[in-house]
Structure 1
């Protein structure tokens, strides 16, 4: 099947061909015809399968006819992060270069004045994050009554970031008669409830089992102690044929420290995390895409949706806390049919996280045989009560070692000790000797009387005690005189 078989316009087919794509992915082949038929869509597919183009391409043809009005966008695309929103905007510019469509990007971290000017001119496509959209809507700078096409992208990520209440409120501001497209890598119950509430008879498209990893990605777990994680990461970066790599960490501080450590060791690395300004994050991504740096240390802000070609390796410096994030992290490699490698450094404390990842993906991830920094215990050991892995029982020594005291002799193994002599049966033992009878004590009346205590003289007849000597405590430097007059004055407040 080719893109021409999907019913797209000639101008759009020309732009797709110039971008280097000839055959649609399964999610594109299933979704594009239904979107062109104005059907509501619920699409579930793993990351890296071309979900963005699955709604961008038909939207360009649908919006090719019509005219935009000031402050009233004709379509709305909701994205969880600024990076995803900027990437969708790039897709519209790339595929819609032969269509005269206007577009606006509403994200945080940039000037709100420029965004308002774009809305005043009227836009066909509005790409926004929920927070900035609700801010401008509350200021009365945007109207959603003319929006007839809504796309909710990365819905499961919206759920993780707490945007579902904002999305529900946004849906109430849109016309009831509209087309809604919902795309997600997984389908947890809250997302299913959202789809049932705001979509009308949607067509469900599922090209892969939810939360499955790309089969083109070779996955490894690298057991390592927490103190040697940086050393092991450096070893892997030098040993593997790393062309371009993304290193993920759970914390922003770890991202900064790790990037500085890699730069000191001569690696061409950069960083991206949520504390950076939007202009800085875009600049670092552009450097990575251009090849100025070949290693990007990132937090989960870069885990979803970023389509960067040629990423050969993904390293999880920290095992992700949420198993869904693992799917999205490793999905930055092995995209568009290419192969990739994903390493996850795990410590004994990550046993529960690894178990949840393997439970979600349904596979057992191979252990890196060359990892010698940690014991060969499996991180995904059987979990006890509360979901935590039970520690392995300590092995008992075959023989007790000799003590440190001089002259101590090591005790022989139990199997080598001589057998004990059998005990004499109780019936054959000699009877106990009878104890001698206790002598009778004399009656209390016949005992010698206890001597009386000397009576003390009355208190007034006792001799007076000698006075205690006075202790010299040294000079008293404190003030013992009368209080000064200024301390006795009354304060008056005027």
Structure 2
């Protein structure tokens, strides 16, 4: 890694004391922002001066606003050529791209420039048309930007500032070769800002190749913040997992539940709806417009429970999440840290709960130890356990509610058609309950033994395995599918 200058941050510095245009200061005031976060105070002077910046900064540190202010100030009043932006922001996921461009829009409008979202899962022809009209800032996922460049709908020869956000997450997802290809087409010596939670491996290679004499900044990592949260591990009865999950989801306050698979997230969300808890699922297999709509509703407070795969573990900024529940516990330290980091943001309080089955205890101990946290371990036989109430858990109504994913919220794509979307409903709830009652009767009431064979509902039926027709509609109780389907 090249030798880099380090500057100390001055947390709490007032924005009006920085070299920012009045138009940007007015937008900041309208948003109730007058003092900069640590990373903003550190980065802005160098970014405004056009220097290369290398920052070790976690999600939620305020870095998006830092590079937004810098780019909007530098491009203020500038004209642009068609298909030739002045700034490019590379992000690993579509959700993060949407979030970043939403942050940029009000500041860009204030200084007379435009920002365009370029991401997969959306209409590429509409994105190409916007680029042909001319925009100053492009916020893109690497694959879609390369697609547009190969179609000659986008050229990178005028780019003056390049931002690479969540570089370590890009490495985890295998996107860094695409990032390298993009950087090779951007003129050396132009400003580049790289943000990453870790600065090693492939991230270090990019820094060595493309950044020139970068100024390095570091903020307090999420892993340190995780230690300030309340952590609980509940060793639960597998047969009671759904009931315990429902009581935690019924608590007051905004709750984020993590499942390992896409199928598991959909199933848990539907199960919660059926017992009276408005909840929606978020995962990579959901159409992009529907994902954007779900996030818009959750952020607006239309419903308080989101069930997600690890697509929501990093990058997304959602205020006031007071509890994270690992319905399927993390088996990786980094995954645990980033999931848990969705709560206790910006100094707020937060609680992290892991629901652990007997066979998951050893690995969970290793993960929490690796994250340097000491959770409170409690054995929970069923949903009536005292610790559930202490965590704010409540008994849900038991009456099916409307699926919040079937409502269109402000911030959803204008042309999103949710009329064709199937959601949880009373018929499915009735079928599920009927299947469960049937299974319970098989397990609890032994049938007449068959001549020459084991009794129906005997030892195999009692254990819940090997009973024909025993599995309820929708899959296993454990919140996991038996086949992993790329649930991230």
TM-score range, shorter chain: 0.7 to 0.9
Which of 82, 95, 99 lines up with 1:87 in the alignment? 99
Pick the structure with greater CA Rg. 1
Q: 1:11 to 1:360 in 2, by over 3 A?
A: farther
1:7 is paired with a residue whose SS is coil
Tell which deviates more after alignment, 155-164 or 347-356.
347-356
Shift of 1:202: 1.1
Number of equivalenced pairs? 371
The 8 Å contact of residues 230 and 375 in structure 2, kept in 1 or not, is answered as no
Any unmatched runs of 5+ in structure 2? 1-12, 384-488
TM-score, normalising length: structure 2: 0.72
Any unmatched runs of 5+ in structure 1? 375-494
Shift of 1:29: 1.1
Which of 106, 120, 145 lines up with 2:132 in the alignment? 120
Q: For residues 181 and 349 of structure 1, what CA distance do their matches in structure 2 show?
A: 44
The 8 Å contact of residues 213 and 327 in structure 1, kept in 2 or not, is answered as no
Q: Provide, for residues 169-210 of structure 1, a one-character-per-residue CA deviation record: whole Å limited to 9, x for no partner.
A: 111011112111111123342212221221111111111257
Matches within 5 A, 1:62-101: 62-101=74-113
Q: Provide, for residues 212-259 of structure 1, a one-character-per-residue CA deviation record: whole Å limited to 9, x for no partner.
A: 334553222222244433232223334x5x311111111001001101
Matches within 5 A, 1:279-358: 279-351=289-361, 353-355=363-365, 357-358=367-368
Partner of 2:155: 143
Q: For residues 192 and 211 of structure 1, what CA distance do their matches in structure 2 show?
A: 20
Shift of 1:98: 1.6
Partner of 1:161: 173
Q: 1:156 to 1:349 in 2, by over 3 A?
A: farther
2:113 is paired with a residue whose SS is coil
1:274 is paired with a residue whose SS is coil
Which of 251, 261, 268 lines up with 2:261 in the alignment? 251
1:190 is paired with a residue whose SS is helix
2:329 is paired with a residue whose SS is coil
Shift of 1:370: 6.3
Q: Provide, for residues 116-157 of structure 1, a one-character-per-residue CA deviation record: whole Å limited to 9, x for no partner.
A: 111101110000101111111122221111111110101111
Matches within 5 A, 1:207-246: 207-209=219-221, 211-214=223-226, 217-238=229-250, 240=251, 242-246=252-256
Shift of 1:359: 4.9
Q: Provide, for residues 58-116 of structure 1, a one-character-per-residue CA deviation record: whole Å limited to 9, x for no partner.
A: 11101114221011111100011111000001101133342111111111111111111
The 8 Å contact of residues 223 and 373 in structure 1, kept in 2 or not, is answered as no
TM-score, normalising length: structure 1: 0.71
Tell which deviates more after alignment, 350-359 or 161-170.
350-359
The 8 Å contact of residues 319 and 353 in structure 1, kept in 2 or not, is answered as no
Q: For residues 287 and 193 of structure 1, what CA distance do their matches in structure 2 show?
A: 40
Structure ranking higher on relative contact order (CA contacts 8 Å, 6+ apart): 2
The 8 Å contact of residues 221 and 365 in structure 1, kept in 2 or not, is answered as no
Task: Report the structure, 1 or 2, having the larger helix content.
Answer: 2
Q: 1:142 to 1:96 in 2, by over 3 A?
A: closer
Partner of 2:270: 260
The 8 Å contact of residues 88 and 161 in structure 2, kept in 1 or not, is answered as yes
Partner of 1:433: none
Q: For residues 134 and 322 of structure 1, what CA distance do their matches in structure 2 show?
A: 31
Shift of 1:331: 1.9
Partner of 2:393: none
Partner of 2:41: 29
